[in-house]
Every structure is written in structure tokens, then in C-alpha cells.
Amino acid sequence: MRSSANVRCLSIFIGFFAYCMTVIFFVGGEAPGEQEEDPFTPEWAVDILGLYSILFLWLLIFFMHNFLCGLHLQHILRNIVQENKRSLREANWSVEEGFCHWIMEITGWVKKSATSFRRQTIEPPRESDEIEPLDEFAPGHRDIILAKRSGYICSADLHWLAHQLRKERPPLQLCVSRRVMKGTFVTEGTVLAWVRVHPENDSSSSTSVASSGNMRGEEQLHRVTRMVNRALRVSREDRGGESISFGVREITEIAVRVMTSSVNDPHAAVSAIDRISELFKDIVRNKLHHHFVRIGGRLYVAMRSWSFEELLALCMHSLRFYCQKDLFVMERSIDMLADLGFICIRAKNGHSNTSIGSPPPSAAEFGRRFNIIQTHLDQLAADARSQYADAGSTERRVIEEALERARDLMRDDQSRYLIPRQSGMISLA
């Protein structure tokens, strides 16, 4: 049911059934205001029923084809990657071009016009939002916001929450707990966020929202707790939502499960790693900034996001532990890390970088990501060499060749990318 085409087909089937039942109900009755012996027949409805039946048969064939294709592993993996690319695009304040782009632009303009009288514009993410640490406020100058229910954080309406905190008197500032991110599980009664009086709006920043003996403060704290629990939508099941980590975990879980003794399908695991490589190709080239919601230059809401290091560790730790017994899975994992390292080197050296968001990460951030990839590659190489300890074996030779390819791709040598204008040939160092 994650396929929108299947949902539309099922909706049309239900509509066709309701239409047929309505026609059957009126056939055989008497026409209003007439007393005839011949039964009443809605001719137009019956004529249209023939065309509707043809459309129904075509949709039935399409539904069966789409449903059976959706059972294929490649189709499932491709859909997961596309869904997470969409989430990454939305996180970078970018949309796709084309007809849907213009529809979204018009819809966004209408919504913006309707709310422009009561809302100020949310500032776009800053350059430093990806590396700026979160301030959970000093103890004694903050109040606790508790979770009202257990579940997975599927989405967060931080913009709405920022406007609500700005309307409070005095205005408030909120920082979501460091362990609470989109896609993580929260337990009822545990710390969801910290809140305090906004220091830029109130001179006494040490004033607590719910100070002892202040009944108004208690009421304000309860009201803010309801707002925060409403903004952070919790689901009983981990369905992804706006979390990029869900797609990484989902594809990695498929790769791990097909390598169990009950399935033992290395080809399916390699296909899953291919899709992981496609997803990380976009992740490594784009910002994964934390969520800092500012209005008028003042910070009202802060929420941590998954970093590149955490996403890559989420994938590579499972692949190294569960899939190290298969030679081709190890080789494909090495090639994937080499490709990611190559992208980082090109971007760090100032070459073209096609990012979903605008602008792309800085050269220093690409260098930091390259070091993370290099660390995982070294760990993977150590595991592979310990698994195939015999230096003269064919398996060890395949691993060494893959590592040699990786070293060649990840050489930080700018002369490899120079294309002389006179000859038009690539100059390799």
C-alpha cells in the first residue's frame, strides 16, 4: 500500500462497485411522478456502465502488473531510494523541476499569501547549521518537556512550533533532546525537549518557565508541553516519514537478511548495496544540517539531525558484521566506499558537484566526510584480510585488487582531473 498507483486503483474499484450497486438499486423501480407498467431503466447510467467496464478491465490489468512488479526486490529497493531522495530534497529546501514543480510552486504561493498576515518568513538554513552544536541550556535555567506517548518520531512541524513559542508571553526558546531525532523511538514520560524563556526577549534569561509558586508558569509549561507533543508526530510503527535514516536501515536490513543461512542470496545482497551506493551518492554531496528555526534572526527551535557519520555507520557496521563471509559482498562494499571517497575528493578540490540542495557543503566538510569514509574502508580492509588470511588464495587476490582500485580512486591528486584544452584528453598522474 506504499504505492500511490495501487491506492488509486483500489479507490476506482470501490467507486465502480458503488456505481454498479446504485444502478442496480434504481433499475426496476418506477420513475418519479409516473405510473407505468414498464420498469424504469436509467438509460444513460447503463450506457456509461459499458465504458466504465472497459476502463475497469484496463485498470485491473494495470493493478495486477503493478502489484506483481512491486513484489520484485529491485522494485522495492528502487522505491525506497526514491522516497529517501525526496526526503533529502525537502530537507535541503529544494524541489524537483517539471510540471509537479510548478504545481507545488503555485500551491506554496497560495498558502504563503494566506498566512502572510499572521506569520513571518522562516529563515533558510545557514552555512554553520551542519556543524553548530546544540545548546541544551544550562541546568537550573530550563524546564523539561516530557513525551506523552511512546513511538517513533515520524515528522516534526518545527515551523509551526516556532511561531507558537514566539507568541508566548514571555517568548520561549526550545531545544529538542540530543537523542530525539526524526526516526528515533521515544518512551512515554521521558525527556523530549528543554524549554526556557528566550534570552533575547527577556533580560532575565535565568527565569524559569515554571518557577515555584507561579501558577501562571505551570499553566504555560503544560501548554507548551501540548504544543511540543503535537508538533513532534509520533507513530506506533517506524514508517520512515521524513527520516532519511529509515531508508538506510531498511535497505541495510534487506542486505543482512538475504545473507542469513535460511536465504543465502549474495546476488540480492549486492543489489541492495548497489541501492545503498545510489542513496549515499546523494547524501554525501548534500548538507545534513541540524534544524534551527529562526524568525527575525532569533532562534526559537533547535533539533538535531542525523549526521553523515551516523548514517554511514548505521550501514557499514551491519554489513561488516553480518556480510563479511561472502567475497563479492565485501568487494562491492569496498567499491561503494571508494566511489563515495572519490566524490568527496572532487568536491573538496573545487570540481563540479551536483547537489540536491543549494549550496553544497564546504570543502572542509567534504574533507571530514572523506576521513570518515577512509576509516570505514580501513576497518573493512582489516576484516577482509583477517577473513581471507591466506595471501596466495584467489579470494585474497580479489580483495587486494578491490583495495587497489579504491586507493587509486581516493588519491587526493588534482592533476587527475585536468583536461587540457589543446588535446582534449584526460591527463592522468
Query: Does residue 13 lie in a domain region?
Result: yes
Query: Does residue 337 lie in a domain region?
Result: no
**DSSP for 185-214, written as a single string:** EE-TTSEEEEEEE-TTT-S-TT--TT-TT-
Q: What is the spatial distance between Cα 263 and Cα 123, in angstroms, rounded to a whole number? A: 50
End-to-end Cα spacing for the chain: 52
Phi, psi at residue 87, to the nearest 5°?
-65, -40
Residue range 238-257: mean pLDDT, rounded: 81
Query: Does residue 213 lie in a domain region?
Result: no
Residue range 279-289: mean pLDDT, rounded: 85
Between helix 394-409 and helix 327-348 the angle, nearest 10°, is: 10
Query: Does residue 7 lie in a domain region?
Result: yes
pLDDT given for residue 421 in this prediction: 40
List the grid coordinates of 64.
495486477
Tell whether the model's pLDDT for residue 142 goes beyond 60.
yes
Phi-psi region of 225 (alpha: psi -120 to 50; beta: other; left: phi over 0): alpha
Tell whether the model's pLDDT for residue 42 goes beyond 50.
yes
pLDDT given for residue 297 in this prediction: 82
pLDDT digit string, tens, across residues 353-396: 555 555 678 888 888 999 999 999 999 999 989 888 888 899 99
pLDDT digit string, tens, across residues 167-194: 888 888 899 988 888 888 999 999 999 8
Tell whether the model's pLDDT for residue 23 goes beyond 50.
yes
Task: Answer for the pair 346, 353: CB distance below 8 angstroms, yes or no.
Answer: yes
Cα of 421 vs its chain's centroid, Å? 41
Domain count, the chain: 1
* Neighbouring-strand partners of residue 173: 196
Rounded percentage of the chain residues whose pLDDT exceeds 90: 17
Calculate the CA dihedral of residues 171, 161, 107, 84 and round it to 10 degrees.
140
What domain range includes position 52? 1-29+38-71
Q: Per-residue confidence at 78, pLDDT binned at 50, 70, 90?
A: confident
Q: Per-residue confidence at 419, pLDDT binned at 50, 70, 90?
A: very low
Tell whether the model's pLDDT for residue 404 goes beyond 90.
yes
pLDDT given for residue 65 in this prediction: 80
Query: Does residue 67 lie in a domain region?
Result: yes
List the grid coordinates of 333.
562494499
Q: Per-residue confidence at 428, pLDDT binned at 50, 70, 90?
A: very low
Q: What is the spatial distance between Cα 322 and Cα 319, in angstroms, rounded to a whole number? A: 6
pLDDT given for residue 336 in this prediction: 93
Q: What is the spatial distance between Cα 306 and Cα 281, in angstroms, rounded to a whole number? A: 16
List the grid coordinates of 376.
570505514
pLDDT digit string, tens, across residues 204-230: 434 444 443 333 568 888 999 999 999
Query: Does residue 4 lie in a domain region?
Result: yes
List the grid coordinates of 415.
592533476
Which residue would you say has higher pLDDT here, 198 or 140? 198
Beta strand 232-235 with 143-146: parallel, antiparallel or unpaired? unpaired
pLDDT given for residue 38 in this prediction: 58
Tell whether the model's pLDDT for residue 345 goes beyond 80.
yes
Tell whether the model's pLDDT for residue 99 goes beyond 60.
no
Q: Per-residue confidence at 106, pLDDT binned at 50, 70, 90?
A: low
Q: What is the spatial distance between Cα 194 and Cα 192, in angstroms, rounded to a whole number? A: 7
Eight-state DSSP code of residue 360:
P
pLDDT given for residue 93 in this prediction: 45
Mean model confidence pLDDT for the chain: 77
Residue range 282-288: mean pLDDT, rounded: 85
Eight-state DSSP code of residue 417:
G
Query: Does residue 23 lie in a domain region?
Result: yes
pLDDT given for residue 118 in this prediction: 41
Residue range 66-84: mean pLDDT, rounded: 72
Query: Does residue 3 lie in a domain region?
Result: yes
Q: What is the spatial distance between Cα 409 and Cα 43, in angstroms, rounded to a whole number? A: 72
